Amino acid sequence: MIGTDVSVAKKFLNSGQLVAIPTETVYGLAGNALQESTVLSIFKAKNRPSFDPLIVHISSTDWLTKLASEVPTKAKVLMDAIWPGPLTFILPKTDLVPDIVTSGLSYVGIRMPRHPVTLSLLKNLDYPLAAPSANPFSYVSPTTAQHVEDQLGKKIPYILDGGDSTIGLESTIISFENPQKPSILRFGGITQNEIESLIGPVSISLSNNSNPSAPGQLDKHYATTKKTYLVNQPYELLRFNVNVFCIGYGEALFEYNLSPTENLDEMAQQLFKALRLADDSDKTEVAISLVPDDGIGKAINDRIRRACH
């Protein structure tokens, strides 16, 4: 059921059930992060392999010190500047965090989301929320309550509707396994430039199938069920025939135009919606153009490449 009542969401969560929650990035499939049986049911509902760890969501830094045994100075600087917001920190975990949350790793992902509804929910709970994106494993992430309803509606009792996700791509993930040299594991809502302007140079260690040290994030991810072609520039989409759902940007007409004015934030916000529409359309295949590779464009292109793998 879709609704807007935080107290209903709280009631289900307190009884150990799962609730979909809105965030500024994408919708999450949330449950009590401190309760093993609940966390296990998150993996089950998503069909997610147990080696792919979950992010823990908090609304106050009081929880930070309970969940992470150490918070390096550079991490603190980033948190002060960006939280609540689309940046997830990988930090050494305390014993309070069940091993199932981190897939057995000694590090945990923590994020404070920037969505008023979910922040008020979290403030009303006595525990943080473990929440992966609320999509079946390897499918496109949801950016509306209806997206969640379409795929997981029968599996969970409540979807808390907070409107369309404003950013539309998942959080950026930064690891502090080496506190002197933090490393970006996933491009997302916060750009590398924003991070480096605050703490200096970081390294990049994007995960893929051949880089198992960073779990999850398989090459084939964010994918529709249809064959999806990749082109470098929107004009190249014009060569596809009428059976192909073309996703582009700029002046030309496509089945879906991510941003006629070529605005990268708008493209990020529209991408997952476009992929879902392509999948639900009566076209047999999909084609999509990469976008300019600067700022949040890097995160958009990462998702587009994985959707086409």
List phi, psi (to 5°) of 64.
-55, -50
Q: If contact means CB under 5 to 8 A according to the sort of partner, which of ligand TXA, Mg ion, none does residue 257 touch?
A: none
- What residues contact residue 286 under an 8 Å CB cut-off, 6+ apart? 224, 226, 227, 228, 229, 244, 245, 246, 247, 275, 278, 279
Under rule CB under 6 A, residue 28 binds ligand TXA: yes
Rg, Å, the chain Cα set: 19
Residue 282 Cα distances to 92, 255, 277, 278, angstroms: 47, 12, 10, 8
State the nearest-atom distance from the C-beta of 235 to ligand TXA, in Å. 32
Q: Which of 83, 107, 249, 272 binds ligand TXA (CB under 6 A)?
A: 107
Q: By CB under 6 A, what part of segment 32-71 binds ligand TXA?
A: 52-55
Contacts of 158 (CB under 8 A, 6+ apart): 1, 3, 8, 9, 12, 17, 19, 20
Q: Which residues ranging from 118 to 137 are in contact with Mg ion (CB under 5 A)?
A: 133
Residue 90 binds ligand TXA, judged by CB under 6 A: yes
Q: Is 130 in the site for ligand TXA (CB under 6 A)?
A: no
Question: Contacts with ligand TXA in 284-303 (CB under 6 A)?
Answer: none
Number of residues that bind ligand TXA (CB under 6 A): 29
Q: Which chain residues interact with Mg ion by CB under 5 A?
A: 133
List residues near ligand TXA by CB under 6 A: 23, 25-26, 28, 52-55, 86, 88, 90, 102, 105, 107-109, 111, 113, 131-133, 170-171, 173, 185, 214-217
